Structure 1
Amino acid sequence: MPRVRRCRQLGCHAMVTFPDHYCQQHYEHEAEYLASRQRWARSNDKQYTHKYNTVIRYRNEDKRQQYNFYRTRQWSHLRQQVLERDHYLCAYCKVQGVITPAKTVDHIVPIEFDETLKANVDNLAVICGSCHHAKTDWEQSYYGTGNSNALKDVEPITDINRILLMMNGGI
Structure 2
Amino acid sequence: MHEKSLYKTTKWQRVRERVYERDHGLCQLCGRPGIDTHHLRYDQGFYNEEWLILVCRRCHDIWQGVYPNHIDDENDLKPVLNRIAEISRALDGLECIYDFSGGGHKWNAHPKTL
Q: Given the two structures, how large is their TM-score scaled by the length of structure 1? A: 0.40
Provide the residue aligned with 2:95 in structure 1: 149
Provide the residue aligned with 1:46 in structure 2: none
**In the alignment, does 2:36 pair up with 1:104?**
yes
Residue 136 of structure 1, aligned match among 64, 67, 71: 64
In structure 1, what is the Cα distance between the partners aligned to 2:16 and 2:47?
10
**What code does the residue aligned with 2:49 have?**
V
Provide the residue aligned with 1:71 in structure 2: 8
The secondary structure found in structure 1 opposite 2:37 is strand
Q: Which has the higher strand share?
A: 2
Following superposition of structure 1 onto structure 2, how do residues 1-171 of structure 1 map, counting pairs within 5 Å? 65-93=2-30, 99-109=31-41, 111=42, 114=43, 116-137=44-65, 138=85, 140-141=88-89, 144=91, 148-150=94-96, 151=106
Judged with a 3 Å threshold, the aligned counterparts in structure 2 of structure 1 residues 147 and 65 are, in CA distance, closer, same or farther, namely: farther
Judged with a 3 Å threshold, the aligned counterparts in structure 2 of structure 1 residues 84 and 132 are, in CA distance, closer, same or farther, namely: same
Aligned residue pairs, count: 78
Contact 1:82–1:125 (CA<8 Å) still a contact in 2?
A: yes
The secondary structure found in structure 2 opposite 1:92 is coil
Gaps of 5+ in 2: 66-84, 97-105, 108-114
In structure 1, what is the Cα distance between the partners aligned to 2:93 and 2:10?
27
Contact 1:140–1:149 (CA<8 Å) still a contact in 2?
A: no
Alpha-carbon RMSD: 2.5
Judged with a 3 Å threshold, the aligned counterparts in structure 2 of structure 1 residues 147 and 82 are, in CA distance, closer, same or farther, namely: farther
Identity of aligned residues (%): 26
Judged with a 3 Å threshold, the aligned counterparts in structure 2 of structure 1 residues 73 and 83 are, in CA distance, closer, same or farther, namely: same
What do the CA deviations read for 1:11-70 (whole angstroms, capped 9, x no partner)? Answer: xxxxxxxxxxxxxxxxxxxxxxxxxxxxxxxxxxxxxxxxxxxxxxxxxxxxx7000000
Q: Given the two structures, how large is their TM-score scaled by the length of structure 2? A: 0.58
Judged with a 3 Å threshold, the aligned counterparts in structure 2 of structure 1 residues 100 and 70 are, in CA distance, closer, same or farther, namely: same
Greater gyration radius: 1
Provide the residue aligned with 1:6 in structure 2: none
In structure 1, what is the Cα distance between the partners aligned to 2:89 and 2:40?
15
Judged with a 3 Å threshold, the aligned counterparts in structure 2 of structure 1 residues 149 and 90 are, in CA distance, closer, same or farther, namely: same
**What code does the residue aligned with 1:106 have?**
H
In structure 2, what is the Cα distance between the partners aligned to 1:88 and 1:77?
15
How many Å apart are 1:136 and its aligned residue? Answer: 2.6
Q: Which has the higher helix share?
A: 1
